[in-house]
Amino acid sequence: MARKKGGLAARRTSVREYRDVCWVSAEGTTERDYLGMAAFKGAPVSVRFPKNTHPNRHNPAAVLKRFEKALRENDFRAGDEAWLVVDVDEWSEAELAELLAWEASDARHHLAVSNPKFELFLVMHFEKGNGCTTPEKVDAVLKKHWPRYAKRVSPTQFPTKQVTEAVANAKAKRAGCKAALPAPGMTDAHLLVERLLAPGGGE
The answer to whether the beta carbons of residues 175 and 121 sit under 8 Å apart is no
Q: How confident is residue 92, by pLDDT bands cut at 50, 70 and 90? A: confident
pLDDT at 93: 82
Tell me the average pLDDT across 159-179. 97
pLDDT at 18: 62
55 vs 83, more confident: 83
Tell me the average pLDDT across 177-182. 95
pLDDT at 61: 86
3-state SS, residue 62: helix
pLDDT at 5: 47
pLDDT at 57: 59
How many angstroms separate the CA atoms of 52 and 195, rounded? 24
How many angstroms separate the CA atoms of 124 and 194, rounded? 14
Give 148-168 pLDDT, tens digit per residue: 999 999 999 999 999 999 999
Residue 74 reports pLDDT greater than 80: yes
Give me the residues paired with residue 112 across strands: 85
Model-wide pTM > 0.85: yes
Tell me the average pLDDT across 164-178. 97
The answer to whether the beta carbons of residues 64 and 98 sit under 8 Å apart is yes
Q: How confident is residue 51, by pLDDT bands cut at 50, 70 and 90? A: confident
